[in-house]
Structure 1
Amino acid sequence: MATRTEARAADTDSGGALGLRNRTTDAFLHNPALGPLGALIIAVIVFSATTSTFLTVDNLSLVVQQSLVVATLALGQTLIVLTGGIDLANAAIMVLGTMLFARLVTEGTVPVLALLVGFGVCALLGAVSGGLVTWLNLPPFIVTLGMLTVILAIGRLYSQGNSWPVTDSLLGVLGQGGYLFGQLRVTHGMTLAVVMFAIAWYALTKTAWGRHVYALGNDPEAARLTGIHVGRTRFSVYLIAGVIYAFAAWQALGRIPNADPNAFQTGNLDSITAVVIGGTSLFGGRGSVIGTVVGALIVAVLRSGLTQAGIDSLYQDVATGVLVIAAVAFDQLARRRSR
């Protein structure tokens, strides 16, 4: 009898442990930002313990500033990836925006008008990509790869090999700011990023449009059958992303007060990296803007921490690549468990 009782207790304990493990796994699978957040915390702890300069107010503020432009690009990328698409041209659109802002002002255009023109062009380019994907039913990868080539060529033709310094305070205003609690430097660009991410989070989680975006990414045909205007939703995402890229261009001029046609050459890949590491599925329908923030910070923390530890930049790329592969593998696991 005692043996049976002990066996029953052992089974109960085993079942309880198994249930707890399953619940923990399910929690991570249904909250894709939890894993990246844990990775970010571990990275901060490791670099704080192994270097004497990482965990300082100035360095942490610098890390956030360095991640700002990529994080904003990744915000627009997140919206597109959630629909099952991808945008390889986002950084090229942003760089063209910086050149429009700076050159127009240098040539005498009123700064506010220069900003409006730049925002209009970035939105238009996003809309062109969205239109080709939506109404011609072309693959997003091919469309945005073609747009990347076209926009890079337009940028070089427009710049003629020149770059333009920021000569007006309005263009560089997002790099200015003050100090929180007298120590932590907070720029206007940081504040703008917080506002944009908050608006995107609200739109995706609290509005019908956000539910339509997720539904489109999960199953476009099912979304159409439930009455969702699939084409309009997909087009709106690319258009909004174009506007977000314009904000990234404005932030870039605040961070580096010079419009260079050769800047941010890997910005598109960096933004995709932040999105994937942040837990957003490349297959669409799963992810969050909070995860994207965490993903962008992970990339910035890795580069800062490994640099301060004296690790070669090539190993930084290796570490980032491993994280991307791990994030995609985890996403595949999540999709299998959800079936």
Structure 2
Amino acid sequence: MTLNVDEGAPASAEDLAGDSHTLGQRVHELLHRQPALSPAIVLVLALIVFSFLSNRFMRPANLSLVLQQLSIVGSLAVGQTLIILTAGIDLSVGAIMVLSSLMMAKLVSHNGLPGGLALLIGLAVAVLASTINGLLVTRIKLPPFIVTLGTLGIFTAVTLLYAQGQTIQLAPGSFLLKTGDIHSIGSFTVTNGVLLMLALYIVVAFALRYTAWGRHLYATGDDVEASSLAGIQTKRVILSAYIVAGVAIAVAAWVLIGRVGGGDPNSGANANLESITAVVIGGTSLFGGRGLLVGSLIGAVIVQVFDNGLALAGYDPQYQVLATGFLVIIAVSVDQWIRRVKA
């Protein structure tokens, strides 16, 4: 109901409530259209706060370190985003990454294979492992959480058995270590791994935005039944998300090798949860169908900024875990609010 108010008369309480409601609707619509906006605001605020807490935070050397640290989780977040966009989740991405990286390193170090061939085999392993997850979800119709929780244990065990408790160091100059090569721009440095991660984001973001596959992926995640009725092969779309995620995991495995100098079965212990955290903080809905890949990149940066900033400020490492937990809860709460409020 609309109330007529005389010109110049003071606004009534109902009018003020209506204005407030309109503002809330505008904020809701903005966040719904731009899911990466809220994490971008959080990132800017975090950069400002930590620059005051530590005078070392904004130095080029430290920012370079933050970029190098996020290159692994950032790469994993690409694959995790694709799966979460279909209303799924993958708890095994980190385990697949470690298995793939260890296999690449061992094939070069112990079997004498060329680095390029080892990379292709590691890529095949990562894609195969992720495809298994996708087949269990789409063909046997098991819940993604249960499937990937089970394969997390399987892939972790396979990795440890394959490694036999050994860490594999590669000789300097190995092709697989190229992702660790550093390029300097003044005091700022960037590795090939960071550049590879950014290239991965550009390619996948383009596919999501400008191809039929991307549109079908969003539609399937938003409403799988309606998408199926519209003629979309939803099972194939979901399976394709896991397959492409496997490619992203293989990229992360290659970046990991460059970071640690070889294959380490104990590396990436928290990569599974960190990738999910980055995607959720980045504004991608756990219920599927809404989110942007750039948001996941911002989310990965936020996680590393909080870890790095709190460490430089001298806070106990547990505060890093605490801050991340709060960010996840807030991000999910905002997503729930966006879905609940009526336009």
- Superposition map of 1:64-83 within 5 A: 64-83=67-86
Runs of 4+ in 1 over 6 A off after TM superposition: 8-14
Equivalent residue runs for 1:92-241 within 5 Å: 92-107=95-110, 108-167=112-171, 168-180=173-185, 182-241=186-245
Q: How many residues get paired?
A: 336
What is the rounded CA distance, in whole Å, between the counterparts of 1:216 and 1:255 in structure 2? 36
Whether the aligned pair in 1 keeps the contact of 2:28 and 2:341 (CA below 8 Å) is no
The normalised TM-score by structure 1 is 0.95
Counterpart selection for 1:242 from 241, 246, 254: 246
Partner of 2:327: 323
**Match of 2:130, SS?**
helix
Give 1:16 deviation, angstroms. 5.6
Structure 1, unpaired ranges of 5+: none
Question: Deviation of residue 22 (structure 1)?
Answer: 3.0
Query: What TM-score, normalized by structure 2, do the two folds share?
Result: 0.94
Q: Name the CA distance, whole Å, in 2 between partners of 1:238 and 1:327.
A: 24
Verify: 1:294 aligned to 2:277, yes or no. no
Aligned residues of 2:80 and 2:90 also touching (Cα < 8 A): yes
Cα RMSD for the two superposed structures: 1.7
Secondary structure in 2 aligned to 1:185? Answer: strand
Q: Equivalent of 2:91, from 88, 91, 100?
A: 88
**1:195 to partner: Cα distance:** 1.0
Asked if 1 retains the 8 angstrom alpha-carbon contact of 2:28 and 2:338, the reply is no
Provide the C-alpha distance between the structure 2 equivalents of 1:135 and 1:227, rounded to a whole number of angstroms.
Answer: 18
Within the candidate set 272, 277, 287, 1:273 is matched to 277
Q: Which residue of 2 aligns with 1:6?
A: 8
- Structure 2: which amino acid aligns with 1:126? S
Q: 1:13 offset after TM fit, Å? A: 8.0
Cα deviation 1:140-160 (Å, max 9, x = unaligned): 111111111111111111011
Structure 2 unpaired stretches of 5+: none
Q: 1:112, CA displacement in angstroms?
A: 1.3
Relative to structure 1, is the Cα distance of residues 286 and 338 closer, same or farther in structure 2, using a 3 angstrom cutoff? Answer: farther
Candidates 38, 41, 47, aligned match of 1:38: 41
The answer to which of 186-195 and 122-131 deviates more is 186-195
- What percent identity do the matched residue pairs reach? 46
Distance 2:157 2:246 in 1: 18
Q: Offset of 1:24 from its aligned partner?
A: 2.9
1:18 shift after superposition: 5.2
The one-letter amino acid of 1:328's match is V
Does the Cα contact within 8 Å between 2:77 and 2:279 map onto a contact in 1? Answer: yes
What amino acid does structure 1 have at the position aligned with 2:176?
L
1:55 lines up with 2:55 in the alignment = no
Aligned 8 A contact 2:115 2:174 in 1: no
For 1:314 and 1:105, the matched residues in 2 are separated by 38
User: Partner of 2:261 in structure 1?
Assistant: 257
What's the secondary structure of 2:190's corresponding residue?
strand
